[in-house]
A and B are shown apart, each in its own frame.
Chain A
Amino acid sequence: MLLSTALFIIGVLGVMLRRNIIVIFMSIELILNAVNINLIAFSYQLQNGIGQVFAIFVIAVAAAEAAVGLGIILAFYRNKETINIDEMSVMRW
Chain B
Amino acid sequence: MNQAIAFYVLSAFILGFAVLVVSTRNTVHAVLYLVLNFLAVAALYVLLTAQFLAVIQVLVYAGGIVVLYLFVVMLVNLKRPPEDHSAPQRHSWIGFGLTGLVLLELAVIIAYGSIAAPGPANAQNTDLAMYNVEKIGMLLYTDYLIPFEVASMLLLVAMVGAIILAKREL
Contacts and interface: CB of A to CB of B under 8 A. Distances in A.
Q: Do chains A and B touch in the complex (CB under 8 A)?
A: yes
Given A9-B99, A68-B162, A27 B60 contact: no
Contact of A37 (B21, B34, B44, B86): B44
Contacts, number: 192
Contacts of B106: 5
Interface of B is mostly: helix
Interface residues of B, number: 75
B119 A47 contact: yes
Contact of A33 (B41, B92, B99): B41
A7 B14 contact: yes
Contacts of B27: 20, 22-23
Contacts of B1: none
Contact of B64 (A6, A52, A63): A63
Interface in B14-49: 14-15, 18-19, 21-22, 27, 30-31, 34, 37-38, 41, 44-45, 48-49
Interface of A is mostly: helix
A5 to B, nearest CB: 5
Interface in B113-164: 115-116, 118-119, 124-125, 127-128, 132, 135-136, 139-140, 144, 147, 151, 154-155, 157-159, 161-164
